[in-house]
Structure 1
Amino acid sequence: MKKTIIFDLDGTLIDSVLDIALCMNEVLKEFNLKTYEIEEYNYFLGGGVDILVNNVLKENSNINLKNSITKRFQEVYENTLHSNTKPYEGIYELLDELIKMQFNIAVLSNKPHKFTLGYVEKLFGKYNLKEVHGQKTTIEKKPHPQAAINIANSFNTPCEKTYFVGDTKVDMQTATNAGMISIGVLWGFRDEDELKKYNANYIVEKPLDIIEILKKNHEK
């Protein structure tokens, strides 16, 4: 039985915060609203567009404004695949090793589905990943476990033998909810305290650290 590993996208495989922040700040300026420093967006991301909008608007609960900001952000951000967004250092080496180890590799993101597909095709096309899923209207987004469970089922891998890799509490919650092995990464949007608080089974500093975890578990 081949083992399966599922990756979050933003903050895990790709560093996208700069492009997201620049686009959202552009939109906020159009609406004469407060903009934010780039690093502040590290704490706004991970839950999808609706959570991002809620975070930048903070106490403002005007539904019409939220809808307008969401629509305009999608127009600005989703107009193109952005040149500042690139894989983190060591990600290609990690994926190469996973292929050698004959792992099934999947991606599950709360980024809209078509843009999840777009970035994976652009940056990871050579790996021919079979299961790549972003946020869809037909299924609950993370941390609901269903999409992750569907991926494991598609590869005929038990959830308890499936690894889920991500950088935020949403990813750790998804792994827990799905009964999967969680690996939290420290190069993404959040810190070690958050990953520990949400019960990461493992925490890694560099992409290739994941390979060491997989090899040790395989030897058990």
Structure 2
Amino acid sequence: MKKNKAIIFDLDGTLIDSVLDIALCMNEVLEELNLKSYEIEEYNYFLGGGVDVLVNNVLKNPSKELKQLVTKRFQEVYETTLHSNTKAYEGVYELLKQLQNRGFNIAVLSNKPHKFTKGYVDKIFKQFNLKEVHGQKDAIPKKPNPQAAINIAKSFNIPCQDIYFVGDTKVDMQTANNANMISIGVLWGFRNEQELKDYGAKYIVKHPLEILDIVN
């Protein structure tokens, strides 16, 4: 086995099931402003690109003023607390435990704002030593730009081509490929198998523990 091993996980739709809380908060904002709200399941196709993309998706070509208003209200409603419906997917705890036992450096890279990315990781995965946890930051381009992933590789002192990148959307597969990392697409998140294949997933898994077979 290689001495230095690393794996980077997306957060929403990969490690945590957060779609219900995001959808409820966004629908609250839309209804407050007398705008069209959506079924919970529809949010699976709105998420993955951060707040900016989420707002664009629910508003469909909004004016600059409306986009700013909805973004501000959503941040006020959603980003004031950690939500109780958000939880780890089944099998994720065991996966992280096994990876930790096998000496992996484990990181999280999300397009969720950094404060809340770190907040959810600290709350839900506090028993694990996740060495690098990064959400969206003003100074670093968000995924699929590879810069943040490359920065994590440098912090681990491990070549990008030796690092696994795990996610549930095309954005994650693009990030992995842009960073020259090994992409693993997961089917329990926000998107389907075809999207992951179309955007270059090297591996596709249906359950978290299948990742152990790949990294071995």
Normalising by structure 1, report the TM-score: 0.96
Distance 1:92 1:126 in 2: 9
Match of 2:34 among 32, 35, 45: 32
Please list every run of at least 4 consecutive aligned residues from structure 1 whose deviation after the TM superposition is greater than 4 angstroms. none
* Aligned match of 2:59: 57
Q: Determine helix, strand or coil for the equivalent of 1:71.
A: helix
Paired residue secondary structure (2:36):
coil
Partner of 1:194: 195
Instruction: Determine the structure 1 residue equivalent to 2:20.
Output: 18
Alpha-carbon separation, structure 2, partners of 1:38 and 1:135: 24
**Alignment-derived partner of residue 92 in structure 2:** 91
% identical aligned pairs: 75
Question: 1:153 corresponds to which letter in structure 2?
Answer: K
1:112 is aligned to 2:113: yes
Letter in 2 for 1:137: D
**CA offsets, 1:85-121, max 9 Å, x none?**
0000000000000011100000000000000000000
Report what 2:214 is aligned to: 213
- Residue segments in structure 1 that go unaligned for 5+ positions in a row: 216-220
TM-score by length of 2: 0.98
Distance 1:136 1:155 in 2: 20
Deviations 1:150-186 (A, max 9, x none): 0011000100000000000000000000000000000
The match for 2:47 is 45
Counterpart residue type for residue 22 of structure 1: L
Give the Å deviation of 1:129: 1.4
Corresponding residue pairs, total: 214
Give the CA deviation at 1:128: 2.5
- For the residues of structure 2 that align with 1:213 and 1:129, how far apart are their CA atoms? 20
Separation (CA, whole Å) in 2 of partners of 1:43 and 1:145:
22
Deviations 1:61-84 (A, max 9, x none): 310100000000000001110000
Q: Distance between the aligned counterparts of 2:129 and 2:163, measured in 1?
A: 19
State the secondary structure of the residue aligned to 1:150.
helix
Question: Which amino acid is the alignment partner of residue 6 of structure 2?
Answer: T
- Aligned partner of 1:152 in structure 2 is 153
Amino acid at match of 1:134: G
* Aligned equivalents of 1:165, 1:129: Cα separation in 2: 15
Distance 1:125 1:39 in 2: 29
1:2-61 Cα offsets, whole Å, 9 max, x none, are: 1110000000000000000000000001110000000000000000000000000013x3
Question: Helix, strand or coil: the match of 2:127?
Answer: helix
Code of the aligned partner of 1:72: R
Unaligned runs of 5+ in 2: none
Output the CA distance in 2 between the equivalents of 1:151 and 1:78. 25
Q: Residue 126 of structure 2 aligns to a residue in which SS?
A: helix
Secondary structure of the 1:183 match is: strand
What's the counterpart of residue 218 of structure 1?
A: none
Q: Give, in whole Å, the separation in 1 of the partners of 2:196 and 2:91.
A: 21
Amino acid at match of 2:93: Y
